[in-house]
Structure 1
Amino acid sequence: MARFLYSSLFILLLPVVFLSLYLRGSKSPAYRQRWLERIGMNRPLQLNKSIWVHAVSVGEVIAAVPLVREFQRRYPDYSIVVTTMTPTGSDRVKAIFGDSVYHQYLPYDIPWALGRFIKKTAPQICIVMETELWPNLIHQCYRRNIAVVVSNARLSESSAAGYRRLKSLSKKMLGEVGRVLAQTEIEGQRFVSLGLPPANLQVTGSLKFDIEIEDRLRDVALELRQDWLHRPCLIAASTHQGEDELILDAFNLIRQSHGDALLILVPRHPERFEQVAALLDKRQYSFVRRSHAAAVNDDHAVLLGDTMGELLTLLGAADIAFVGGSLVDTGGHNVLEPIAMGVATITGPHTFNFQAITELLLQRNGITVVSDEINLAQVCVGFFTSPDAASAQVSRGNAVLNENKGALAKQLQAIDELIC
């Protein structure tokens, strides 16, 4: 009954959902495209058998890359289907995998839309990345004997509290999940408390520790860094609404002692690129846009990172990285990427999306957590003044990263057992 009511409400709200997509399209036109995919009416297709990976957006797509690569190597007779929910996630899939996978948006959580999609793609298993739990998706797979695996699973206490408010729906849903491959024991037990059978839980660690940086990418970052090698450089990566102003306030304080400092400002969502450019104009900063491919000269205080797929390169071209979504109450983003690129890493106090990883790094002094923009400026000035301290933090962070690798092998083993 709970799922029936949920499905009925979802169908009733579909006009509102599509109106929301249309309105978002005013800033990001891609939201007004490919609507038929969102109700399962994709282009004519009939796969024989496939492995289906769902990754909601950019972060989940990046986490899924090593899994997908291994699936392609281990199961050459299977088609690989990758679904996302956002245009940015879609763009990442296309950029990374090209035509080697079948990609479309995930149909909304409506039984008939998902049923049509499943019939056409013939998945033998569905791997959902991190915490994208949809009751009808899971049920439609369950009733067709398609195992659902939640890979690299994480669940914050606030998210768990939300699921508890829908206890009857959540319990039934998690009872139909084949396996949860949790990043930590604490997060795994949250799934169990919501209704996951304990036998279906396996704690594997986080795939994010298995990050591998290609030498080619490091070389590109080093080449870019030559343009401002003589200047101290801070990158603020994946910033959110209301955070850019705080970053610029901190940057003003930094420039009081390091007047030649350069800020690389990278908004998380492309629909905010123009908004952040307008903010830089309003604050009267001399800046250059990465999308214009113009050289950064000494007159430029800010490089606006308004391109997609270049974040790792830009991280590697900086001395210090601040990871956004953490000075505002968004929950933070992946702090391991700048560490892997050899950059001293700072985050704000709001890190509930990466709490376990952040706490592990903190225990070893492999990351710095700041309380506000003033504290951010103080830490940056300290690192700029003492590069050895920054390098030491990077070394400690990389030690933590290397010691916690291995989740990929564990998750592949668990998935292999369900495919075979």
Structure 2
Amino acid sequence: MQNWIPKRHAMRKPPAGKFPRRHLALAASTLIALGLTLLLLPGENAEAKRTAIPLDLELTPSRISESVSAPEEPPVAIEQSWKEIPVENGDSLSAIFSRANLTPQDLHELLSSSSKAKELNKIKPGQKLSFKISDNGQLDAMSFQVDKLNSIIFERGVTGFTTTKMTETPEIRQRVASATITSSLYRAAQDAGVSQGIIMELANIFGGVLDFVYDVRKDDFFIVIYEELYLNGELLSSGQILAAQYFNRGKSFEAYRYINKQGEVDYFSEAGESMRKAFLRAPLDFTRISSGFNPKRLHPVFKTVRPHRGVDYAAPRGTPVYAAGDGRVAAAGYSKANGNYVFIKHGEAYMTKYLHLHKRAVSKGDRVRQRETIGWVGSTGYATGPHLHYEFLLNGVHRNPATIVKQLPAPKKVAAGAMPEFKAQIAGMQLQLRTYAAQRNYTGTGAG
């Protein structure tokens, strides 16, 4: 007999998408457990990242921030550098621009930019040019060092190059130097470390009262106070002489630099008398007299007695010859006897003559100032060797140049109304000269 189950008791298939509640709860628990397991168990990539971290790294906020890649910053513009090119012997602007990899067009554009650019045509060895050139080879700027204190800057603008003059201000220091004469002023001053420019200026200041050929004697003594110019601790050059004192044959000569209310600069004695006389005692520096004024001299070339109406100063060829006083050139030329010559008229009464010059620096009609170079020592004409023949005429009559200056008009003086100001201005220099002479124990008859 078949077993049978009534239809109402047969198993029913659940409708699609529906499960008993307990089945759903079981499935949900299983999925949650599986998810947690996957989260807690590290994968391969996670393990790789973990092992890449150093063991001693402290994960402080600052260190963590370092490990994060920062956004890229825009590139910083690199400032152009200057290329310096010194001026060498025989250099030209075109050669220097070529060494700077610039074209003739660059040079033309710069030279035509302003009148200041014309100064570039005067470049000398030892000066410097500096260039700022862009990446595409264009000249953006140039600096021309005129000297250690002055430069001219050319910068490219919208319409061409602009020009700026730059001037450094040097530090001014005072220096005191002194020396005892053993052979010549030049050698003594050189041994004391005095520059050639100061030596020449010292001779110029005392040139109206001392003849450094005739008057200088062994054991003469001098003191000079002058300026020196420094830039960044480096000595650039000597400046002005502020005061000087020269002891000669027991006499003392003092000179002080004085600036009056009109801004005029000159040197005066402590009594206010100008050191600049009408005529120099000698028209050149540091020589010896080879032949003096002598109406009965035996001529060295013709070996006959002929008057020597001047003074012969033996000096190396090329030594500068100065105008003995202010005046106008009355004659300048060449003759068989005189060689190259210059005659200067000083007012109506005086004339000076300069013979046997190597070259002349002036022409007839030129105005000249005292101590202006009018030529150079030579041996042209009837001359046995390089020397200057110098003559001095008063009202057409030859006079001895070594003695006539003592008979000339007195030099100018500081005005009476300006004497208090003059005294006040030189007081400090007077004290320095006195103090220094006392320290050297100099009495005026010899150096201590």
Report if TM-score (shorter chain) is over 0.5. no
Greater strand fraction, Structure 1 or Structure 2: 2
TM-score, length of structure 2 as denominator length: 0.20
TM-score, length of structure 1 as denominator length: 0.21
Larger Rg: 2
Higher relative contact order (CA 8 A, sep 6+): 1
